[in-house]
Amino acid sequence: MISLLRIDERLIHGQVATTWTRQLGINAVVVANNDAAANELISMTLRMAAPTGIKVAVKNIREAVSLLNDKRTAELKILIVVDKPSDALELIRQVSGIPCVNIGNFGRVGDRRQRRALTDNFSASEEELEQLREIAESVRCEVQVLPSLPKKDLKQFL
């Protein structure tokens, strides 16, 4: 069962590895990222960043869709992590049962001149905002860095 899809450009890191997995009772993390899946060093680093006992799969988007649609994953409590809205949108389009999209840290890396700052931890280009609008039409979307902080509906930023 998919518990949450999180957009966080850092993929697996301290907040995801400890806070979110504990809060949601996660026992599996699927990193859906073409670049990470193609780089064994990055894949290994992401797997090592997860807490002991948490299964981690680092897959390209196509492989992640296949894995998440596999009936054998239904018994797991899965956190999906992507680093950009376009990947989240692809998953939303192709995987059923994603209950919510959470936006954590996004848009802080790269050319910020092309992005509009929406919060301290969330910036997006017009193209990314359009992708987020489409996601928000399909599934509940929240902006929330940590589970202990208030949730904000993504639609208020669009």
Q: Which domain holds residue 132?
A: 2-157
Number of domains in the chain: 1
> 10-19: per-residue pLDDT in tens?
999 877 778 8
Two tokens, residue 52: 């002991």
CATH number at residue 23: 3.40.35.10
Give the alpha-carbon dihedral of 113, 116, 118, 119, to 10 degrees: 0
> 88-121: per-residue pLDDT in tens?
999 999 999 999 999 998 886 666 668 888 888 8
> 52-80: per-residue pLDDT in tens?
999 999 999 999 999 999 999 999 999 99
3-state secondary structure (DSSP) of residue 114: helix
**Does residue 65 have an active-site annotation?**
no
Beta bridge partners of 105: none
pTM of the predicted protein model: 0.92
Provide the 8-state DSSP code for 106.
B
3-state secondary structure (DSSP) of residue 152: strand
The predicted pLDDT at position 16 comes to 72
Burial bucket for residue 97 (CB in 10 Å: 0-12, 13-18, 19+): exposed
Choosing from 13, 47, 55, 77, which is the catalytic residue?
Answer: 13
